[in-house]
Amino acid sequence: MSYPTDVAVDAEGKVFVSDRDNHRIQVFDAEGQYLYSFGSEGSGDNQMRYPTGIALDCDGNVYVCDNGNNKVMKYESDGKFIRRIDSEDNRVDDPGGICVTDDKPFCKVVVVSGKGYVKVFSQ
């Protein structure tokens, strides 16, 4: 890893780590054994530049703050890209910290910007 910045653990004990300078998310089992990674450097779907914050919802989906591309993305736990949750018109500049509530039917994704503000998205 190169500059790991955040970590999240799912209900099965899998550990998700944002590997910032390698532009990916790495996943390990509860004993620390590498399982898989997802993401690659770029700006398209399933690509990221300097991922920072990472969080999981109660369904196991993974939310990633893509700091270098100023966006927030949602993935399935196996790394399959679902969608960008912000938009060009409502983007997060310099996203860093992130958390997800367990509210149903719509959870809330709270993102902290390095520019000094917080945004809340309903999912």
Length of the chain as a residue count:
123
- Rounded to two decimals, what is the model's pTM? 0.94
- Lowest average pLDDT, out of 18-32, 36-50, 97-111, goes to 97-111
pLDDT at 54: 97
Structural tokens at position 68? 């270098």
Q: Which domains, ranges and CATH numbers included, belong to the chain?
A: 4-122 (2.120.10.30)
User: How many percent of the chain have pLDDT more than 90?
Assistant: 80
**Cα atoms in the 13 Å half-sphere on the side-chain side of 19:** 19
- Those residues whose C-beta lies under 8 Å from the C-beta of residue 106, and which sit 6 or more positions away, are 122, 123
Q: pLDDT, tens digit, for every residue of 48-76?
A: 999 999 999 999 999 999 999 999 999 99
pLDDT at 36: 97
**What distance in Å separates the CA atoms of residue 100 and residue 81, rounded to the nearest whole number?**
18
Q: 10 Å Cβ neighbour count for 98?
A: 22
